[in-house]
């Protein structure tokens, strides 16, 4: 410590300013230690500075522990970086594998479906009703497998695709999805009730997939009713804004609600309602990527409501 520093410290003490600092010392034995030094100015009854009350605390163990913690954190960060790089490589390889497998599977599936159709068209008069039924089931199975491949690839994409965060008009998206659904079967008596002005901050493409799946499910599971009502909206709750899609269709038994969002988990048979069981798993992946939650309530033949939040 130079003379100027000593004078500055002395002036601070005279002004009543306490000192506290940590530095390294060397003991007579030659051992280096760390110590916390504190000094409190002492004044006489006339307010004249007489000296300082000092205390020195050995902090060597704490400094060593801090050093170990820093080293452990550095090692952990390095291991996390390595693990992240390994996962990214594995994901790229898995994606390449998925596309390769999907391509290899699609070709024979197209062949199965195509040749079955040719048999039905060109040899229709030679086939009895049972044979035609068998070929129809073969075609249906091939088409469901092709759809399953597409759904699995979509699930893979939404799990790893880049997200572009922006303000999204969910009401407008819901109206467009509703128009597309109604165009598939204009004769159906379905009333859509879409709340206006519902917005969220998230990836517009992924949030559209959410509404396509939820509104699409509502459209599908009301198909056995003569008339139906499908609602989309938002409400404020204690935990924040919650969005919902509600219908008055087939519903489900709440004791199986835990199965809804698992891949390949279906509460209705494919003969009752077509599907692969991937849609709600896709919804959950997207909402999780937005830091939110998704859940559902329903009663058999009294409809279902699917809720989701976005952080």
- Candidates 176, 272, 263; CA nearest to 220 is 272
Domains along the chain with CATH numbers: 3-58 (3.30.450.20), 79-160 (1.10.287), 165-308 (3.30.565.10)
Instruction: Please state whether 133 falls in left (phi above 0), alpha (psi between -120 and 50) or beta.
Output: alpha
Q: How large is the average pLDDT for residues 78-100?
A: 75
pTM greater than 0.75: no
Report how far residue 188's alpha carbon sits from residue 220's, in angstroms, rounded to the nearest whole number.
Answer: 11
**265 neighbors 228 (Cβ within 8 angstroms):** no
Q: Per-residue pLDDT tens for 150-174?
A: 777 777 777 677 788 999 999 999 9
Out of 84-93, 177-186, 236-245, which region has the weakest mean confidence (pLDDT)? 84-93
More reliable by pLDDT, 282 or 215: 215
pLDDT at residue 180, rounded to an integer: 93
Percentage of the chain surpassing pLDDT 70?
A: 85
Q: Per-residue pLDDT tens for 269-278?
A: 666 666 667 7
pLDDT at residue 212, rounded to an integer: 92
- Candidates 243, 256, 246; CA nearest to 290 is 243
Q: Per-residue pLDDT tens for 37-49?
A: 888 888 888 778 7
């Amino acid at each position: 410590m130079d003379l100027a520093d000593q004078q500055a410290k002395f002036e601070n003490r005279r002004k009543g300013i306490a000192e506290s600092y940590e530095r390294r010392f060397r003991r007579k034995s030659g051992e280096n230690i760390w110590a916390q030094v504190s000094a409190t100015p002492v004044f006489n009854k006339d307010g004249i500075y007489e000296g300082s009350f000092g205390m020195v605390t050995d902090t060597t163990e704490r400094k060593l522990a801090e050093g170990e913690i820093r080293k452990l954190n550095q090692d952990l960060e390095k291991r996390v970086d390595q693990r992240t790089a390994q996962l990214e490589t594995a994901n790229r390889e898995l994606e390449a594998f998925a596309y390769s497998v999907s391509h290899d599977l699609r070709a024979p599936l197209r062949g199965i479906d195509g040749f079955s159709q040719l048999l039905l068209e060109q040899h229709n008069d030679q086939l009895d009703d049972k044979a035609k039924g068998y070929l129809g089931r073969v075609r249906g199975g091939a088409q469901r497998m092709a759809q399953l491949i597409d759904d699995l690839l979509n699930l893979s994409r939404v799990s790893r695709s880049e997200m572009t965060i922006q303000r999204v008009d969910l009401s407008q998206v819901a109206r467009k999805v509703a128009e597309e659904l109604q165009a598939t079967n204009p004769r159906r008596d379905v009333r859509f009730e879409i709340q206006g002005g519902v917005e969220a901050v998230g990836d517009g493409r992924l949030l559209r997939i959410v509404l396509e799946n939820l509104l699409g499910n509502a459209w599908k599971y009301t198909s056995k009713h003569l008339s139906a009502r499908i609602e989309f909206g938002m409400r404020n709750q204690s935990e924040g804004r919650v969005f919902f899609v509600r219908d008055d269709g087939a519903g489900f038994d709440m004791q199986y609600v835990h199965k809804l969002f698992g891949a390949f988990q279906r509460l209705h048979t494919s003969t009752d309602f077509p599907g692969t069981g991937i849609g709600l798993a896709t919804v959950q992946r997207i909402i999780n990527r937005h830091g939110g939650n998704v859940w559902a309530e329903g009663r058999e033949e009294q409809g279902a409501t699917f809720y989701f939040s976005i952080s």
